[in-house]
Amino acid sequence: MKAFRVLRGSLVAGVAVAVLGVSGCASADTAAIVNGQRITEQEAQEASRQILEAQPDSGITTANAVASLVMAGFINTVADGAGKGLSDSAARQAVAAIKDPSPATLELVRASLAFNQMTSEEQGRAVDLASKAKITINPRYGKFDPAKISFDASTPNWIKPQPSATPQG
């Protein structure tokens, strides 16, 4: 019985590595890769946790944080080029409720604030940069459609939707 558990554990680990290798995210802690730059699950989880702590009504999830971190680099690049980029200190002031914001949290805050100041043309340039980028998302966090520049949430096939309750009476 003990040998079966060890074998099962090895098999599960092997399958996980194979799935991540096929998906293009060969590291177990990789949430996404953007033009060769890795976004870790830990970064996305920490950013999500910190933003929820500061703004509980934001409803951000780790999957949302991954999608936002993918786009943040493009937004901040265009904003910086247009003179609308924000410093980390400005981002820290915007989330003063977070004692020690992570670099990923600051990246998301900078992108969010900058995006709101950008013209529609500048926003379009950020989208254009994303459409030309090599982006790989860990399937756990959804799927990226480069043609539409959209992120679709992952719905694992083992999760079945609950039937809606019909009122009685």
Instruction: Name the more confident of 131 and 5.
Output: 131
The predicted pLDDT at position 83 comes to 95
As a whole number, mean pLDDT of residues 154-169 equals 51
The predicted pLDDT at position 55 comes to 87
0.85 surpassed by pTM: no
**Confidence at 155, pLDDT banded by 50, 70, 90:** low
**Confidence at 142, pLDDT banded by 50, 70, 90:** confident
Of 136, 65, 67, nearest to 104 (Cα)? 65
Lowest mean pLDDT among 13-17, 107-111, 164-168: 13-17
Instruction: Name the more confident of 5 and 35.
Output: 35
**Considering the chain, what is the average pLDDT of its residues?**
79
The predicted pLDDT at position 91 comes to 92
As a whole number, mean pLDDT of residues 120-137 equals 93
Of 41, 34, 14, 18, nearest to 140 (Cα)? 41
Contacts of 38 (CB under 8 A, 6+ apart): 27, 30, 32
**Confidence at 20, pLDDT banded by 50, 70, 90:** very low
As a whole number, mean pLDDT of residues 1-13 equals 40
> How remote is the C-alpha of 4 from its chain's centroid?
36
Lowest mean pLDDT among 13-17, 121-125, 134-138: 13-17
Structure tokens at 111: 């992108």
